[in-house]
């Protein structure tokens, strides 16, 4: 609990994950602001506090799925492997909270419920479910893009007599699957990570798949002392590469087109990247996978061939082969033995396209053709992404304008950082920024540092409020949509578009223009005296 009882703050930060922790450090220890974080969970860590399901781990490699702002932190922290499991990442974020003495300004177990802009005082009035009401000059959202769990509205769940869990709100003392008949709904990154681990523990696992997914092996491995030492010796260059890349990954960008190679050459490249594992298959193979359907089809077909080679039952293999969206148009999972798991005797695949779920009963799940008796249901059904957590807060801007109303037809922002009508509200990894299309710590650090420089500028020049103009916002929203329309992202019913939430307006939310061009644009806006913003003294 915070030991400060200030009801007048410079900044309120909502959320204590990667974003909120760094924002607090920057606001308090670099800018000297009186800042407080409110966090709904009972611990820090955000994603890594909530997602404790079996098999949870990162899919960006540890040495770049980490902060770069402190060279000491970089040098002293030891990662165990390429893709550490959730407990290790949570330990890292707790270490950051302790190392930078952040906890005294974090109020845990407290959800921000409402925030209203007071135009006369040029301050936000922020209310929480703990009964706090504080005034703050700046309101900084660090609520996360993937923090509002989506439990689908399936008839009968309330009658189910077994146990059910959503992967994004997993019990802290774990779940014992031994001797249990388990069902898992959802085959996104989460379901694909959890399936092999649950299958090893459970008596029987039934996977309910609505959309088959492309997945590439992670090839996780320990970080040997030699590799770790080499990384630490080269950290500055690694971070530079990540910042100046398309996706926030420190890979050499691919300049090859998939269509400029013979069948054999292309296959050799895919095979070598498949053996290496991880996101390089997507980001390091051919640049036109994201833009050109024919180029994309070569990667998609290669993955389907692999699935058919791994899965012994041809009928099951065919069901697992993705067919209705281009590779990479949904966030592609990275797996450890996912497809191999369907060769186990205790695993069954149910194709929901053939036999949709009709209802959940007291004893299991009924599809159009069968009743599956189960003891446990695991919902790996994702999140109300990008806007879900922010819109749970009743945010009122100038003249009482509600953010929920403003975003009813999809989120609108300038640079994903600010919303017209909502002065002094900053949104870390907000819709309209690269966020979820990138290795996120790179995008998070860029936003925190940009917001920090902006606030320093405002204070230096005696400016009391900053607000995106309607014109700048309109132009940015159009630009985000235009760039997305040049890619294959629009060809999938993905959570990037809000398609996973019934009734949510379909708008492509993240910015596809690339991490480095986006950074340059933000820096340019700042260099031009915050072009596109109106500043009030
Ligand atoms: P979060 O970590 O989501 O933290 C937001 C916090 O805000 C939460 O703790 C939440 O409780 C709190 N909060 C929300 N609303 C309120 C409120 N009203 N009041 C108070 N508190 C509130 N990204 C990658 O780049 N690489 C990966 O390998 C990767 N792996 C992932 C694995 C999983 C299982 C998931 C779900 C996501 C993964 N991501 C990954 C994305 C991940 O969300 C980001 O990398 C990063 O952790 C986001 O940090 P954040 O602080 O912005 O948000
Ligand atoms: P997700 O990608 O949204 O996947 C949810 C799955 O549930 C999809 O297969 C979806 O099917 C299915 N589903 C949703 N509603 C359903 C319903 N009513 N009936 C049946 N099936 C339903 O969610 P996620 O897997 O939790 O991943 C979300 C994001 O978190 C990822 O994309 C990634 O960015 C991040 N993440 C990363 C890692 C990692 O490896 N580091 C791990 C987990 C998550 P449809 O496809 O048909 O909608």
DSSP characters for 433-451? BSGGGS-HHHHHHHHHHHH
| Mean pLDDT on 293-315 | 97
Least confident of 2-16, 89-103, 419-433: 2-16
Q: Which of 40, 77, 45 is nearest to 62 (CA)?
A: 77
Contact 58, 83 (CB under 8 A): yes
Can you say whether the dihedral through the CA atoms of 464, 429, 412, 474 is positive or negative?
positive
**DSSP structural state of residue 514:** -
Check residue 5 and give its pLDDT: 40
Residue of the CA atom closest to atom 9 of ligand 1: 46
Unique residue bearing structure tokens 């003294």: 537
Residue 2 pLDDT greater than 80, yes or no: no
Whose atoms come closest to the Cα of 492: which ligand? 2
- Measured CA to CA, the distance from residue 304 to residue 321 in angstroms comes to 6
Residue 449 pLDDT greater than 60, yes or no: yes
3-state secondary structure of 501: coil
Whose atoms come closest to the Cα of 427: which ligand? 1
**DSSP structural state of residue 29:** I
Kindly give the distance from the C-alpha atom of residue 46 to the centroid of ligand 1, in angstroms, as a whole number: 5
- Measured CA to CA, the distance from residue 353 to residue 355 in angstroms comes to 6
Provide the token pair at 73: 């932190």
- Measured CA to CA, the distance from residue 161 to residue 342 in angstroms comes to 27
Secondary element (H or E) of residue 534: strand 533-536
| Mean pLDDT on 106-135 | 97
DSSP characters for 345-377? TTEEEEETTTS-EEEE-SSEEEESS-EEE-SEE
Check residue 4 and give its pLDDT: 39
Residue of the CA atom closest to atom 24 of ligand 2: 382
Q: How far is CA 450 from CA 10, 501, 526, in A?
A: 17, 31, 8
Contact 172, 52 (CB under 8 A): yes
The answer to whether the CB of 344 is under 6 A from ligand 1 is no
- Please count the other Cβ atoms lying within 10 Å of the Cβ belonging to residue 499: 13
Contact 426, 446 (CB under 8 A): no
Average pLDDT, rounded, for the chain: 96
Phi, psi of 374 (to 5 degrees): -140, 155
Check residue 284 and give its pLDDT: 87
Residue of the CA atom closest to atom 18 of ligand 1: 112
Ligand 1 site-directed mutation target among 126, 136, 147, most atoms within 8 Å of CB: 147
Ligand 1 site-directed mutation target among 12, 14, 17, most atoms within 8 Å of CB: 17
CA dihedral 36, 39, 40, 46 (to 10 degrees): 170
Q: Which of 186, 134, 149, 137 is nearest to 46 (CA)?
A: 149
- Please count the other Cβ atoms lying within 10 Å of the Cβ belonging to residue 239: 21
Contact 152, 356 (CB under 8 A): no
| Mean pLDDT on 70-82 | 97
Atom of ligand 2 nearest to the CA of 352: 20
Kindly give the distance from the C-alpha atom of residue 84 to the centroid of ligand 2, in angstroms, as a whole number: 20
- Measured CA to CA, the distance from residue 193 to residue 191 in angstroms comes to 5
The answer to whether the CB of 79 is under 6 A from ligand 1 is no
Beta bridge partners of 533: 468
Kindly give the distance from the C-alpha atom of residue 46 to the centroid of ligand 2, in angstroms, as a whole number: 18
Least confident of 40-54, 213-227, 242-256, 455-469: 242-256
Kindly give the distance from the C-alpha atom of residue 150 to the centroid of ligand 2, in angstroms, as a whole number: 9
Atom of ligand 1 nearest to the CA of 60: 28
3-state secondary structure of 535: strand
Atom of ligand 1 nearest to the CA of 57: 32
Check residue 417 and give its pLDDT: 98
3-state secondary structure of 306: helix
- Measured CA to CA, the distance from residue 363 to residue 369 in angstroms comes to 16
The answer to whether the CB of 389 is under 6 A from ligand 1 is yes
Whose atoms come closest to the Cα of 82: which ligand? 1
Q: What lines the ligand 2 site, CB under 6 Å?
A: 58-59, 146, 152, 185-191, 193, 210-211, 331, 333-334, 352, 380-383, 436, 495, 500
The answer to whether the CB of 56 is under 6 A from ligand 1 is yes
Provide the token pair at 216: 């590439």
Whose atoms come closest to the Cα of 148: which ligand? 1
Check residue 42 and give its pLDDT: 98
Atom of ligand 1 nearest to the CA of 393: 18
Q: Which of 424, 481, 422 is nearest to 454 (CA)?
A: 424
State the SS3 of 307-351: HHHHCCCHHHHHHHCCCCCCCCCCCCCEECCHHHHCCCCCEEEEE
Residue 1 pLDDT greater than 50, yes or no: no
Check residue 252 and give its pLDDT: 84
The answer to whether the CB of 115 is under 6 A from ligand 1 is no
Secondary element (H or E) of residue 465: strand 465-468
Check residue 283 and give its pLDDT: 85
Ligand 1 site-directed mutation target among 16, 23, 24, 46, most atoms within 8 Å of CB: 46
Contact 466, 456 (CB under 8 A): no
pLDDT band per the 50, 70, 90 thresholds, residue 251: confident
Phi, psi of 536 (to 5 degrees): -115, 130
- Please count the other Cβ atoms lying within 10 Å of the Cβ belonging to residue 75: 11
Residue 376 pLDDT greater than 80, yes or no: yes
Phi, psi of 86 (to 5 degrees): -50, -45
Task: Count CA atoms closer than 13 A to 192's CA, side-chain side.
Answer: 24
Residue of the CA atom closest to atom 23 of ligand 2: 382
Residue of the CA atom closest to atom 6 of ligand 1: 15
């Amino acid at each position: 609990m915070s030991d400060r009882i200030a009801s007048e703050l410079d900044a309120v930060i909502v959320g204590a994950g990667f974003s909120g922790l760094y924002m607090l450090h920057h606001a308090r220890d670099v800018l000297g602001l009186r800042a407080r974080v409110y966090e709904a969970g009972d611990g820090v860590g955000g994603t890594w506090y909530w997602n404790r399901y079996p098999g949870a781990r990162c899919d960006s490699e540890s040495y770049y799925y980490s902060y770069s702002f402190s060279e000491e932190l970089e040098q002293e922290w030891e990662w165990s492997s390429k893709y550490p499991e959730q407990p290790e990442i949570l330990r890292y974020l707790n270490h950051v909270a302790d190392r930078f003495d952040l906890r005294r300004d974090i109020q845990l177990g407290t959800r921000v419920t409402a925030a209203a802009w007071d135009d006369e005082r040029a301050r936000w009035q922020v209310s929480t479910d703990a009964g706090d009401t504080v005034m703050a000059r700046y309101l900084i959202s660090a609520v996360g893009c993937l923090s509002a769990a989506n439990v689908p509205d399936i008839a009968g769940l309330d009658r189910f007599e077994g146990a059910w869990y959503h992967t994004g709100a997993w019990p802290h003392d774990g779940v014992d699957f031994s001797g249990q008949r388990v069902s898992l709904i959802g085959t996104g990154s989460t379901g694909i990570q959890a399936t092999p681990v649950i299958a090893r523990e459970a008596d029987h696992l039934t996977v309910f798949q609505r959309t088959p997914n492309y997945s590439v092996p992670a090839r996780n491995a320990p970080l040997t002392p030699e590799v770790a030492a080499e990384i630490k010796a080269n950290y500055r260059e690694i971070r530079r590469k990540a910042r100046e890349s398309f996706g926030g990954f420190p890979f050499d960008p691919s300049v090859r087109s998939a269509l400029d190679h013979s069948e054999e050459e292309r296959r050799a490249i895919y095979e070598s990247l498949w053996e290496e594992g991880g996101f390089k298959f997507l980001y390091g193979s051919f640049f036109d996978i994201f833009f050109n359907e024919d180029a994309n089809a070569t990667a998609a077909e290669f993955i389907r061939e692999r699935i058919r080679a791994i899965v012994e039952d041809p009928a099951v293999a065919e069901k697992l082969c993705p067919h209705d969206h281009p590779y990479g148009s949904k966030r592609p999972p990275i797996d450890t033995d996912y497809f191999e798991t369907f060769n186990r005797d205790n695993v069954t695949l149910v194709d929901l396209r053939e036999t949709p779920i009709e209802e959940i009963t007291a004893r299991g799940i009924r599809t159009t053709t069968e009743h599956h008796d189960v003891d446990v249901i695991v919902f790996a059904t994702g999140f109300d992404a990008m806007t879900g957590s922010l819109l749970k807060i009743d945010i009122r801007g100038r003249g009482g304008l509600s953010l929920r109303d403003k975003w009813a037809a999809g989120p609108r922002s300038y640079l994903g950082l600010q919303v017209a009508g909502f002065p002094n509200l900053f949104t870390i990894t907000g819709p309209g920024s690269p966020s979820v299309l990138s290795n996120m710590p790179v995008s998070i650090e860029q936003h925190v540092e940009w917001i920090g420089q902006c606030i320093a500028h405002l204070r230096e020049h005696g400016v009391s409020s900053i607000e995106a103009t309607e014109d700048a916002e309109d132009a940015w929203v159009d630009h985000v949509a235009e760039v997305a329309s040049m890619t294959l992202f629009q060809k999938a019913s993905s959570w990037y578009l809000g398609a996973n939430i019934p009734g949510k307006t379909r708008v492509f939310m993240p910015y596809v223009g690339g991490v480095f061009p986006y950074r340059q644009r933000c820096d340019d806006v700042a260099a031009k005296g915050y072009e596109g913003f109106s500043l009030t003294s």
